Amino acid sequence: MQTTTLRVHTGTTEVVHDLTPQCAQFVGDAPADGLLQIFVPHATAGVAILEVGARSDDDLLAALEDLLPRDDRWLHRHGSAGHGRSHVMPAIIAPSMTVPVVAGQLLLGTWQSICLVDLNVDNPVREVHLSMMLSAG
């Protein structure tokens, strides 16, 4: 198994950050078949596959705002206003995913991108672990 850790600067705003170029480079370095595991070791971030560049990322952030409002209803209270919502989000947008890889290429659809979703404006730097599990054979 090959592994690497990405350090992603998400800044101080809610963000959907496209990880696809880094993931493609990682799996392309060893052109083989297998599975790419993406894992975010944070209690307030997740990973999703969605279209970016056509404002679907903005739509996702708006939907999360509707579903998880940034207000004082959250029992988990520290950091910025509504920070507790960031701790609930990984139950909706999981902190890990697996993507098939064939001949060093991610098997994503035409408009699909692998994205880090981060609502936590109090933590501007995130780690993302990539692990390539090679197929036997």
pLDDT of residue 39: 98
The CA-based dihedral angle spanning residues 8, 57, 31, 107, taken in that order and rounded to the nearest 10 degrees: 150
Residue type, 103: A
Does the structure show a pLDDT above 70 at 137? Answer: no
What CATH number does domain 2-134 carry, 3.40.1080.10, 1.20.1090.10, 2.40.50.140, 2.60.120.460? Answer: 2.60.120.460
| Cα gap 97→4, rounded to integer Å | 15
What pLDDT, in 10s, does the model give residues 1-21?
899 999 999 988 999 999 999
What pLDDT, in 10s, does the model give residues 40-98?
999 999 999 999 989 999 999 999 999 999 888 888 777 777 788 889 999 999 999 99
Does the structure show a pLDDT above 90 at 122? Answer: no
**What is Dmax (Cα atoms) for the chain?**
54
